Amino acid sequence: MPWAGLKEECTIGPVTFWPFQTSRDTKVQDKAIKDHLSKYFACHVDQRGAPVRSVTVVSNGNIDFRDPTPTEFKTTRAVCDVLIFCAIYPNSVNAVKNNNNSMGPPSADRFQLITQYFTPGKEDIAIRTGSLMSGGWKLGQIKFSQPWSLGGFFSAVDEKIFAAMSRTFDLGVNADARDRVFRSLEWFRLAHTEVDEVSPLSKVVMMATAFEILLEVQNTPNTALWIAEKVDKQSRSDDSIADAREITLKGKKELVTHCKAAWWAWDFYKSRNAVVHGDEVKPTDLRFHAPEMDWLNDLIVADLLFGECIIWELDKLNCLENEVDEFIKTINATGDKDAEGLARPEAVRFLHNLNDVHRALGWMKPLPKPKGCIGWGNL
């Protein structure tokens, strides 16, 4: 990953990410390999032509630079998608919580994964892009320029979610369940590339696909309603704002009540259907109308709700056990009668800022002002 810029080593399952510039002397013992990699990585430059210091090496198992097996490469690609999600999602949360659109997250392009075969001491290099191969080059003859599409500056990954994802390996989680989560993250990655050829409408379809995989959407004549019901069941709390809509079910008009998050999921999937079926979808159709956040759109909101769905899935797989149980135990130990008997879903919402996001989006009742508080209206 030439542009990732990780400052510290991190591991999930069998895969380790480590910064080359600061770790090469401890990670690479063979001098010929170290010298070759140093020359190769020096070919990666920033927009001014200077060699970058952002190279992160991705190792599956032992750091021996052998050819990966197909299974190892699949796992490595999946774990890289986990890293991408854990870097993008918390930045989106912080931007919406603070109503600050300058806090843009990195794009998936920052975590471009490149495989390069090499023989130490031989400076021949070939570059493959998709199904195309360009050969006959030597190290030093060419430069790989840092893309302009890296997005916001990289910050630390969401440690709680990253650790929970690692537990999908450590706790022996059913491989099919883990693979389903990882396949949904592949579509999340694809929806967060920033090349000009990928339109916002294409990203709507990609994010909708990520939701379908993660939520295990059933074969039903009304997929939008099925998704809304699933989101309502997992996201609704006592403070959620509910709306009633009249919709047609089996040819009859019925009044259906769901929380606002669920109805947003309904509308988003309807937008996906419009794109897939070639109907007109205007840019204004993808705006999200939230108080004082005119910069917000449905793709950003999709990040937030998808991230929440990931968190609920990890909880269902018992990968949040330690932190949630410890938090509940700590709260109960305070002796606060109002907090005693804290329900598990509320603990998850608090630990992962889900209530803050819902309130920022207008999906949840605002917090009451503390007694004795002087607001602007009282001055």
Residue 2 tokens read as 């030439």
Do residue 340 and residue 202 come from a single domain? yes
pLDDT in tens, 155-175: 678 889 999 999 999 888 888
pLDDT at 104 over 80: yes
Q: Are the CB atoms for 14 and 7 separated by under 8 Å?
A: no
Determine what percent of the chain is predicted with pLDDT higher than 90: 72
Do residue 259 and residue 141 come from a single domain? no
pLDDT at 179 over 60: yes
Do residue 31 and residue 56 come from a single domain? yes
Domain boundary pick from 145, 176, 191: 145
Distance CA 104, CA 94 (A): 9
Q: What is the pLDDT of residue 221?
A: 83
Do residue 131 and residue 260 come from a single domain? no
Q: Who has greater pLDDT, 292 or 302?
A: 302
23: closest CA among 34, 12, 36? 34
Q: Is residue 154 part of a domain?
A: no
Residues in Cβ contact with 248 at an 8 Å cutoff, skipping those fewer than 6 apart:
254
Do residue 181 and residue 317 come from a single domain? yes
Best-predicted range by mean pLDDT among 176-185, 242-251, 285-294?
Answer: 176-185
Q: What is the pLDDT of residue 152?
A: 81
Do residue 207 and residue 325 come from a single domain? yes
Distance CA 191, CA 194 (A): 9
Q: Is residue 325 part of a domain?
A: yes
Three-class HEC string of 240-266: ECEEEEEEEECCEEEEEEEEHHHHHHH
pLDDT at 107 over 80: yes
Q: What is the pLDDT of residue 367?
A: 82
Domain boundary pick from 145, 173, 188: 145
Q: Is residue 309 part of a domain?
A: yes
Q: Which amino acid is at 289?
A: H
Do residue 134 and residue 194 come from a single domain? no
Residue 40 tokens read as 């190769």
- 10 Å CB burial of residue 69 (0-12, 13-18, 19+) is exposed
Mean per-residue pLDDT for 26-46? 95
DSSP string, 43-68: TEE-TTSPBPS--EEEEESSS--PPP
Q: Is residue 334 part of a domain?
A: yes
Determine what percent of the chain is predicted with pLDDT higher than 70: 94
pLDDT in tens, 192-220: 999 888 899 999 999 999 999 999 998 88
Distance from CA of residue 97 to its chain's centroid? 17
Do residue 184 and residue 321 come from a single domain? yes
Do residue 130 and residue 97 come from a single domain? yes
CA distances from 177 to 149, 182, 216, 233 (A): 32, 9, 10, 20
In angstroms and rounded to an integer, the radius of gyration of the C-alpha atoms of the chain is 23
pLDDT band at 225; cut points 50, 70, 90: very high
Do residue 86 and residue 170 come from a single domain? no
What range defines the domain where residue 46 resides? Answer: 10-145
Q: What is the pLDDT of residue 172?
A: 80
Domains identified in the chain, total number: 2
Q: Is residue 255 part of a domain?
A: yes
Distance from CA of residue 265 to its chain's centroid? 17
Do residue 141 and residue 166 come from a single domain? no
Mean per-residue pLDDT for 96-114? 91
Average pLDDT, the chain: 90
DSSP run (H or E) holding 12: strand 10-12
pLDDT in tens, 320-379: 987 888 888 888 777 665 555 678 899 999 999 999 999 999 999 988 765 554 444 433
Q: Is residue 179 part of a domain?
A: yes
Q: Is residue 113 part of a domain?
A: yes
Do residue 121 and residue 169 come from a single domain? no
Q: What is the pLDDT of residue 154?
A: 58
Q: What is the pLDDT of residue 170?
A: 83
pLDDT at 253 over 80: yes
Q: Is residue 111 part of a domain?
A: yes
